[in-house]
Structure 1
Amino acid sequence: MVQTPISPDKKLSKLEGLKEKSNFLREPLATELLEDTTHFSENAIQLLKFHGSYQQDNRDNRVKGQEKDYQMMLRTRSPGGFIPAELYLTLERLSEEYGNHTLRVTTRQGFQIHGILKKNLKTTISEIVRSMGSTLGACGDLNRNVMAPPAPFKNKPEYQYAWEYANKIADLLTPQTGAYYEIWLDGEKVISAEEAEEVKAARQRNGNGTIFHDCEEPIYGKHYMPRKFKCSVTVPGDNSIDVYTHDVSLVVITNKKGKLEGFNILAGGGLGRTHKKEDTFPRIADPIGYVAKEDVYDLMKAIVATQRDYGDRSDRRHARMKYLLEDWGVDKFKAKVEEYFGKSIAPFKDLPKWKYQDFLGWHEQGDGKLFLGISVENGRVKNEGKFQLKTALREIIEQFHLPMRLTANHNIILYDIEPTQKQSIAKILTKRGIELNPEAIDPLIRYSMACPAFPTCGLAITESERALPGVIARLRTLLDHLGMAEENFVVRMTGCPNGCARPYMAELGFVGIVPETYQIWLGGTPDQTRLAKPYTDKMPVEDLETFFEPIFVYFKQNRQPEESFGIFCDRVGFDALRQFSANYTLGSYMETDTSKKRKFRKNQQRVSVPDELFPRLKDAAKQEGRPMNQIIADALNDYFTKRGNN
């Protein structure tokens, strides 16, 4: 009999009791959905997550003495980032009818719709399901969206295997409760794709205590997982999905003829942490071993069962599987998995070096057709000024009925494009202000990520998505003035320490700690193969230039040939960076061209731009190839010169 080993002196968290009493994710959610209220209770909110939604309130619209501006965020479950044409058009329409008129690509290859009112939630979910989509398991204490490389290479069988098994693992670990269809579709079970027979059989196979017999949830049981559980499937060398950051990552192994033989397994990754709680920390996954393809489902069930039965259900901060690996060590974890698996796990096979790829621009997909990677800054699909990405995508999907894949760097890939369609598609995007040449995109923007944060995320401490464009512009201006105009590195920002934009793998990570102040993490790699480390606990965003100027100068003066910023910071060490910064005189290394020279003062004040002017400023910056703050500075110089105040 499967039990959850909990120390006698530890009490189960409140949420464990809620899951047990919910009748497999039904109550009190089902009852409260029928009530004429603007929001759900705290208990219903916890169950709502399993169905793919978070209750939020728009903090921009808070009015003292009035009820919060309650709204729902809805997230799709899209293994491998697959969004069929019909589903995209439905999501786009729903975002207009019930959402805030934007879609957001997540860093786990799904779409989010923000701003849905409680009264419209059932309609929104039911229409998504009827359009070949799902939100079940996109949030909550179970397996989340299974990630896979988004590149649609038809002539590289390993990519096709990664897609295939991302779907199959997602199906294997999908909740089996009927609650989802009962609540959102009045019991009508809409099936968008038939499960493979091998997956159905594997779900019911006992495997030494991996399942609960005669239970609505054979794999999860009535308590589901201790915390969220994240998986990915990738191919050797392709780290477009941050392979080390998942609870479990499978790496496709093929023979010389391209036939699937099995998978390498990594386990124990995860990035979420809590400020001032040193027992919480980011961790990268460890190599566990190799499994033959015919055993992959049983091994996945064994890993899930190990975390399900031995993960910490008393302290949710300590409940992720990464802490089980950290506490036990790889050998003990592997031994317990082998007990459930029923056999030994084979040794990990050698792999080539990992490389990050974003697949932007035009590519041949190997069957005579093309795919196009489109950069989506911070993942926000919207219309703003002359940049009309939302309209452009709708026009293209309506006209050409193309599928898309969402990427882990919150970009979009359109594929199965006939060569004869290329010119028409490019014309639509160019007309709507969308840049198709990836080399024309500032690399600081191209390789950056931010989480949504304010105003909707309830965990946000400070800004992220809305702040990062300005931060990137200021970094670029600083680099320009230091004679480092060609420099680029991976920048990621989050508004809290939970790490949704994976800042702890970046070369330069910003992690919100108090309003307008960030922890700075340095030392990750361009290919996301090593954790960054915390360099300073609190950097007010107003001090950005004075903080980074000495660090960038030290990098310029002491880097090795072709050495990236993150690798440099890790090599020289933080003590050297701090010592140089302490002895550095601000402005001493600026370009000597006085027409370009800027000296940044400590604690300089920021200048706000009216909302109605910001799109025009952004357009001008893109057209002229200049940072927004440089345009503002030049305009102010012209103003004071005309007044004779220079």
Structure 2
Amino acid sequence: MITSIGAANTTVFNDPKIQIQRFNGLKPCKLLSVHGGGKFGFSVSADSSIVRALSTSVKPDNSPELKRSKVEIIKEQSNYIRYPLNEELLTNNPNINESATQVIKFHGSYQQTNRDERGTKSYSFMLRTKNPCGKVSNRLYLVMDDLADQFGIGTLRLTTRQTFQLHGVLKKDLTVVMSTIIRNMGSTLGACGDLNRNVLAPAAPLSRKDYLFAQEMAENIAALLTPQSGFYYDMWVDGERIMSAEPPEVVKARNDNSHGTNFPDSAEPIYGTQFLPRKFKIAVTVPTDNSVDILTNDIGVVIISDEDGEPQGFNLYVGGGMGRTHRLETTFPRLAEPLGYVSKEDILYAIKAIVVTQRENGRRDDRKYSRMKYLISSWGIEKFRSVVEQYYGKKFEPFRNLPEWEFKSYLGWHEQGNGHLFCGLHVDNGRVKGAMKKTLREIIEKYNLNVRITPNQNLILCDIRRGCKRPITTALAQGGLLQPRYVDPLNLTSMACPALPLCPLAITEAERGIPEILKRVRAVFEKVGLKYNESVVIRITGCPNGCARPYMAELGFVGDGPNSYQIWLGGTPNQTSLAKCFMNKVKVQDLEKVLEPLFYYWRHRRQVKESFGDFTSRMGFEKLQQLVDKWEGPVATSSRFNLKVFANRQTYEAMDELAKLENKTAHQLAMEVIRDYVAAQQNGKNE
């Protein structure tokens, strides 16, 4: 029983299981008791005090108290992600304290310093928006463009999760920037922090039923898992809730507590006071379209349609994640694996059940192991499925068969299907700046275009009238935004994280280093005879956290020291295989010593249409290491070794036809056959 007495709002709790935390204004006082992992919550607000019931435990009071990380304590004492940020924002200091830096992440911001500068630290804040499906209205794009110039460093950055990042905002300007974004139908709520992040979906504005349904579902999942306690609006717009109405099915699913998923009467029915153990990532897509790197997410949602293209339900993957820690083998990147199939009517309940399973069982003592991938790796998929089904209230149906995945970039001009066109634009590393930024603004403003951000850090201009194609194409070219056929194929699929100078976790360069690295890779291609239209998927990060998903690349560079990288090999062009670490501590000036032999032997020993990633997996790292160790450069073609190997035209023509199947010349294939024959004979003698 709970009673409220008089104007002072004195609250009496007759249930001994309820634990209370009382705040004087917004400053926490004594914490009466702490338990974790329960299913009950309560909150009461008054003019002079706020009483919060923490998540309660169904276990007896004598159960051992689990160790919790410092961040868990900060979340618990934050009054639903308000304190001490609300106090820190009122000071004249250019920075905020350690606890507030954790709290502000839930509001969509990170505190940063310029690591290029020496002496007194130069503090600023990075703001990240939340844009389900990468959708950005015309109005919001123009506002973000203005804010970058007025309060940022003059650039916008497109992220691998279909959002904007705005760098260089000073503490004194945070409120005006945040409130401007909110009042223009944008948001940064939950773009960072221990909760569901931006929900991905294919960015292409196609008028197909499955694509439209995927985007609708991504928006509904994002709404389902949006915080409800109002801390974001209290902090930045004085409590005014500026948001569109939610679909009734989302509200119903969030409030449903039939299977013990919710904290009853809590300000945060799904998250409670502790939110999730770590960040949580979800992507929605349609069969074959892997523009979202579906297997890298905590939950991957794939629409299953009938023969008429009508969506019927969803396949669910679980347990993907990229982050790891150097020299700690108990941390690792992981691919998601199949969980099961649910009908379209049940998808929100299934998603909620998975999130709650992670909320209740994910580790909260050591943040290195707090992602859901570690829970599933520890439990195994069968136990995980069984626990999720308890919160879901149903058994999952068998996973439906799927066709092969393909990476789709949507660059260039395409039909939308509704009479309009869309144009996908390649943006190197997602950095919108200079003449490109000015040109994009002029086009988007003049033609009143909405835009979409892709998971590959590119931009799509939507809803273009046919008569506008030619002038827009001309304007784009003048601004340096070229059609994909004029962009180096290596650049088209590459990605890099921001890294230095602003990211506090960066060990070495990524965004600033990748242009030169790609040029050097192209030079190696030319040196070993690879054609210009051939490419490999290259991704670079300045640390092992994997923000640019390097562990899915055919060739991944992961910063492991100053001007030094790990080299990862074995991903595939369609992003369905996990790369493995091939070499450590490769200095940036020594990359050619590794890349030349790898690309040379890929050219000469690959099978028909074999990608670089598949080639390195087939060869095996032991053999590749031998080739790198004994490398002395490409085989010379001087007259001394340029032997005539064909005795007659018939032999030559037959060899030439075989060579074409492997994208080689007849002479190259003949020399390989001879070398392999000689090597086999020598091995036979040695035995």
TM-score normalised by L of structure 1:
0.89
- Structure 1 485/8 Cα, relative in aligned 2: closer, same or farther at 3 Å? farther
Cα distance in structure 1, aligned partners of 2:199 and 2:474: 34
Aligned to 1:143: 196
- Indicate conservation of the 8 Å contact 1:508/1:524, yes or no: yes
Letter matched to residue 70 of structure 2: K
Cα distance in structure 1, aligned partners of 2:235 and 2:195: 19
Written as runs of structure 1 = structure 2, the 5 A alignment for 1:492-571 is 492-571=539-618
Aligned to 2:374: 323
- Indicate conservation of the 8 Å contact 2:136/2:452, yes or no: yes
Matched, 1:165 2:217: yes
Offset of residue 592 of structure 1: 7.0
Letter matched to residue 563 of structure 1: E
Cα distance in structure 1, aligned partners of 2:78 and 2:436: 41
Cα distance in structure 2, aligned partners of 1:225 and 1:49: 13
Letter matched to residue 610 of structure 2: E
Offset of residue 178 of structure 1: 1.1
Q: 1:103 aligns with which of 156, 159, 162?
A: 156
Letter matched to residue 170 of structure 2: L
- Indicate conservation of the 8 Å contact 1:54/1:74, yes or no: yes
**What secondary structure does 1:59 align onto?**
coil
Aligned to 1:93: 146
**What secondary structure does 1:127 align onto?**
helix
Aligned to 2:240: 188
Letter matched to residue 184 of structure 1: W
Matched, 1:37 2:76: no
- Indicate conservation of the 8 Å contact 1:137/1:174, yes or no: yes
Letter matched to residue 491 of structure 2: I
Q: Residue by residue, what CA displacement relative to the aligned partner does 1:344-399 show, whole Å, maximum 9, x if unpaired?
A: 0111001110000100000001111000000000000001xxxx110111001111
Aligned to 1:283: 334
Offset of residue 269 of structure 1: 0.2
Aligned to 2:536: 489
Q: 1:303 aligns with which of 333, 354, 366?
A: 354
Q: 1:439 aligns with which of 485, 507, 510?
A: 485
- Structure 1 13/508 Cα, relative in aligned 2: closer, same or farther at 3 Å? same
- Indicate conservation of the 8 Å contact 2:411/2:426, yes or no: yes
Cα distance in structure 2, aligned partners of 1:4 and 1:315: 21
Cα distance in structure 2, aligned partners of 1:468 and 1:592: 35
Aligned to 1:620: none
Offset of residue 582 of structure 1: 2.0
Q: Residue by residue, what CA displacement relative to the aligned partner does 1:159-206 show, whole Å, maximum 9, x if unpaired?
A: 000100000000000011211111101111111x22101101111000
Cα distance in structure 2, aligned partners of 1:560 and 1:135: 47
Aligned to 1:380: 431
Q: Residue by residue, what CA displacement relative to the aligned partner does 1:213-255 show, whole Å, maximum 9, x if unpaired?
A: 0100000000000000000110011000000000001101111
Cα distance in structure 1, aligned partners of 2:634 and 2:603: 14
Aligned to 1:637: none
Q: 2:179 aligns with which of 107, 119, 126?
A: 126
Q: Residue by residue, what CA displacement relative to the aligned partner does 1:460-494 show, whole Å, maximum 9, x if unpaired?
A: 00000000010000010011011113331100000
Letter matched to residue 424 of structure 2: G
- Indicate conservation of the 8 Å contact 2:201/2:218, yes or no: yes
Cα distance in structure 2, aligned partners of 1:431 and 1:484: 31
Aligned to 1:13: 69
Matched, 1:63 2:123: no
**What secondary structure does 1:37 align onto?**
coil
Cα distance in structure 2, aligned partners of 1:590 and 1:535: 28
- Indicate conservation of the 8 Å contact 1:521/1:536, yes or no: yes
- Indicate conservation of the 8 Å contact 2:129/2:186, yes or no: yes
Letter matched to residue 234 of structure 2: E
Cα distance in structure 2, aligned partners of 1:253 and 1:381: 36
- Indicate conservation of the 8 Å contact 2:555/2:613, yes or no: yes
- Indicate conservation of the 8 Å contact 1:291/1:345, yes or no: yes
Cα distance in structure 1, aligned partners of 2:281 and 2:386: 21
Bigger radius of gyration: 2
- Structure 1 482/29 Cα, relative in aligned 2: closer, same or farther at 3 Å? same
Mark the runs of 5 or more structure 1 residues left unpaired by the alignment: 594-646
**What secondary structure does 1:422 align onto?**
helix
Letter matched to residue 159 of structure 1: Y
Mark the runs of 5 or more structure 2 residues left unpaired by the alignment: 1-37, 40-55, 640-687
- Indicate conservation of the 8 Å contact 2:217/2:284, yes or no: yes
**What secondary structure does 1:580 align onto?**
helix
Aligned to 1:636: none
Aligned to 1:448: 494
Offset of residue 433 of structure 1: 2.1
Offset of residue 36 of structure 1: 1.3
Cα distance in structure 1, aligned partners of 2:638 and 2:98: 60
**What secondary structure does 2:385 align onto?**
helix
Offset of residue 10 of structure 1: 4.3
Letter matched to residue 220 of structure 1: Y
**What secondary structure does 1:409 align onto?**
coil
Matched, 1:589 2:635: yes
- Indicate conservation of the 8 Å contact 2:600/2:634, yes or no: no
- Indicate conservation of the 8 Å contact 2:495/2:538, yes or no: yes
Aligned to 2:35: none
Aligned to 1:623: none
- Indicate conservation of the 8 Å contact 1:4/1:308, yes or no: no
Aligned to 2:282: 231
Cα distance in structure 1, aligned partners of 2:157 and 2:380: 37
Written as runs of structure 1 = structure 2, the 5 A alignment for 1:181-260 is 181-191=233-243, 193-260=244-311
RMSD (Å) for aligned C-alpha atoms = 1.4
**What secondary structure does 2:604 align onto?**
helix
- Indicate conservation of the 8 Å contact 1:489/1:565, yes or no: yes
Cα distance in structure 2, aligned partners of 1:100 and 1:591: 52
Aligned to 1:629: none
Offset of residue 259 of structure 1: 1.9
Cα distance in structure 1, aligned partners of 2:591 and 2:526: 15
Offset of residue 545 of structure 1: 1.1
**Identity, % of aligned pairs?**
52
**What secondary structure does 1:233 align onto?**
strand
Matched, 1:48 2:104: yes
Offset of residue 572 of structure 1: 1.0
User: Using CA pairs below 8 Å that are at least 6 residues apart, which structure has the higher relative contact order?
Assistant: 1
Matched, 1:577 2:624: yes
- Structure 1 584/463 Cα, relative in aligned 2: closer, same or farther at 3 Å? same
**What secondary structure does 1:108 align onto?**
coil
**What secondary structure does 2:350 align onto?**
helix
Cα distance in structure 2, aligned partners of 1:283 and 1:519: 18
Offset of residue 420 of structure 1: 0.9
- Indicate conservation of the 8 Å contact 1:157/1:258, yes or no: yes
Cα distance in structure 2, aligned partners of 1:39 and 1:470: 34
Cα distance in structure 2, aligned partners of 1:4 and 1:41: 31
| Equivalent residues, number | 582
Letter matched to residue 355 of structure 1: E
Letter matched to residue 53 of structure 1: S
Aligned to 1:76: 129
Cα distance in structure 1, aligned partners of 2:98 and 2:563: 29
Offset of residue 258 of structure 1: 2.0
Cα distance in structure 2, aligned partners of 1:420 and 1:114: 36
Q: Residue by residue, what CA displacement relative to the aligned partner does 1:246-271 show, whole Å, maximum 9, x if unpaired?
A: 00011011112222211100000000
Q: 1:265 aligns with which of 306, 316, 320?
A: 316
Aligned to 2:439: 392
Larger CA deviation: 424-433 vs 207-216: 424-433
Letter matched to residue 161 of structure 1: F
Cα distance in structure 1, aligned partners of 2:394 and 2:85: 41
Offset of residue 589 of structure 1: 3.2
